[in-house]
Amino acid sequence: MQVPEIPVKPDPMAAVENIIAVASGKGGVGKSTIAVNLAVSLAAMGKRVGLIDADVYGPSIPKMFHIEGQRPVARTEEGTEWIVPIEKYGVKLLSVGLFVNPEDAVIWRGPMATGALKQLISQGDWGELDYLLIDLPPGTGDVHLTMVQEVPVTGAVIVSTPQEVALADVIKGINMFAGEKINVPVLGIVENMSWFTPEELPENKYYIFGKDGCKNLAEKMGIKLLGQIPIVQGIRESGDSGEPVALQPDKSPGDAFHLLAHTLEKVIRTRNIELEPTKKVEITTK
Ligand code: ADP
């Protein structure tokens, strides 16, 4: 008897080493800025990096990489259609923003938003990657749930400002990741907009959103503080011009993102080692 062959859909994540979710409790705290500069820093460190803009309600990755208006092409291989990510600054990128007109208001209903993310994940031609970062929408919701159902997430990075109203939502976010439904380890918190230093007064630090809010919260919750990023006009300008500051690793503030990327790498490496089964040690008595 001839058994009909059932085509097996290839797993787009088969060769992706680490999947990192970048999340925030609130919008506007710099989540996309951190995701973009982390991706560029990791790529500059020689890592193979991808970035999915899953912030379907306000995709800003195309602008931050200056690839607005570009359309990813499709490629078919053995009956499977793949979406080829756009590559810039050594990072493979896909965003729903690349499939819609930037000026059009997109009204996403829940299922449409999660469907769009599913497509970027399952049809993305990601190939071999050390890190795939997923820039999530702010808050907690359907997209987060879809993500963990679709891919094995290594861990989440939470971005916040040190301000008290933002911190309340950070706790909610952390509890969501720790909860049964999502159950993704939180790798740490990034405190963004920690202080402002005017160029003409380089010794002065102004704590506009409060001092060490995330640092203190991280300590209280037993979570790692991955880094503190100051408010710098250049960070905002480079986001708008599509040339991330992390492209200049030796210059402030690009160096702050490189330090952050190194810290994150170390945390992930330690975590992966801890998760590996204990290896048998051969002891010779001679
Ligand atoms: P989110 O993804 O949380 O909504 P964004 O990354 O879009 O936030 O950042 C919101 C705004 O703040 C953007 O205009 C961005 O350029 C700016 N921004 C973010 N972080 C910094 C920073 N450390 N210094 C200066 N501007 C920043």
Which residues neighbour 103 within 8 Å (Cβ) at sequence distance 6 or greater? none
Look up the pTM and report it. Answer: 0.92
Ligand 1 contact via 236 beta carbon (within 6 Å): yes
- Mean pLDDT over each residue of the chain, to the nearest integer: 90
Cα gap 170→231, rounded to integer Å: 19
Asked whether the beta carbons of 88 and 247 are under 8 A apart, the reply is no
Q: Rounded to an integer, what is the distance from CA 121 to the centroid of its chain? A: 14
Confidence of residue 285 (pLDDT cuts 50, 70, 90): very low
Cα gap 210→188, rounded to integer Å: 19
Instruction: Look at residue 38 in the predicted model and tell me its pLDDT.
Output: 98
Ligand 1 contact via 238 beta carbon (within 6 Å): no
Confidence of residue 141 (pLDDT cuts 50, 70, 90): confident
Does the pLDDT at position 157 exceed 60?
Answer: yes
Does the pLDDT at position 266 exceed 80?
Answer: yes
Does the pLDDT at position 281 exceed 60?
Answer: no
Q: Please tell me which residue, 277 or 116, carries the higher pLDDT value.
A: 116
Instruction: Look at residue 286 in the predicted model and tell me its pLDDT.
Output: 45
Instruction: Look at residue 271 in the predicted model and tell me its pLDDT.
Output: 84
Taking residues 68-91, report their average pLDDT. 94
Instruction: Look at residue 103 in the predicted model and tell me its pLDDT.
Output: 67
191-237: pLDDT as tens digits: 999 999 987 888 899 999 999 999 999 999 999 999 999 999 999 99
Taking residues 27-49, report their average pLDDT. 97
Ligand 1 contact via 33 beta carbon (within 6 Å): yes
91-95 β-sheet, strand order: 86-88, 91-95, 49-53, 129-135, 16-24, 155-160, 186-196, 225-231
Does the pLDDT at position 91 exceed 80?
Answer: yes
Other residues' Cβ atoms within 10 Å of the Cβ of residue 198 = 10
Ligand 1 contact via 60 beta carbon (within 6 Å): yes
Cα gap 191→205, rounded to integer Å: 15
Cα gap 54→22, rounded to integer Å: 10
Buried b (16+ CB within 10 A) or exposed e, 133-142: bbbbbbbbee
Of 29, 22, 37, 21, nearest to 255 by C-alpha is: 37
Cα(122) to ligand 1 centroid in Å equals 29
Instruction: Look at residue 283 in the predicted model and tell me its pLDDT.
Output: 56
